[in-house]
Amino acid sequence: MGTLSFYKWVGDKLQVNVYVIPNAKKDEVIGPYLDAIKIKIKAQALENKANQHLINLMAKWFGVPKTHVSLLKGDHARQKLIEIQNPKIFPEWMGTEG
């Protein structure tokens, strides 16, 4: 699959561009969308619930504590920039290398 444009490494931190669709029936990764990865999440975009849910999912998917996942951009937008410190797992949707 090669290097995809929705993520980049900054030292030991992985930055992932995410396009979020809140209030979905289930949590699922749809796939690349523009320069992001499209992810549907169950949480509502209300009172920061969607952001917290996304952080929890990313921590689980990358095998890190929630404290190692940060929302750098897009607090109130569908397009977000997530940073994962020292990811331990690389989900299949990241491609072949992660």
pLDDT at 21 over 50: yes
Quote the CA–CA distance of 47 and 57 in Å, as a whole number.
18
Which has the closest alpha carbon to 18: 86, 88, 62?
A: 62
Quote the CA–CA distance of 25 and 35 in Å, as a whole number.
24
pTM for this prediction: 0.91
Superfamily of the domain at 13-88: YggU-like (3.30.1200.10)
Which has the closest alpha carbon to 53: 72, 40, 63, 68?
A: 40
pLDDT at 3 over 60: no
| Sequence ranges of the domains in the chain | 13-88
- Average pLDDT value over all residues in the chain: 92
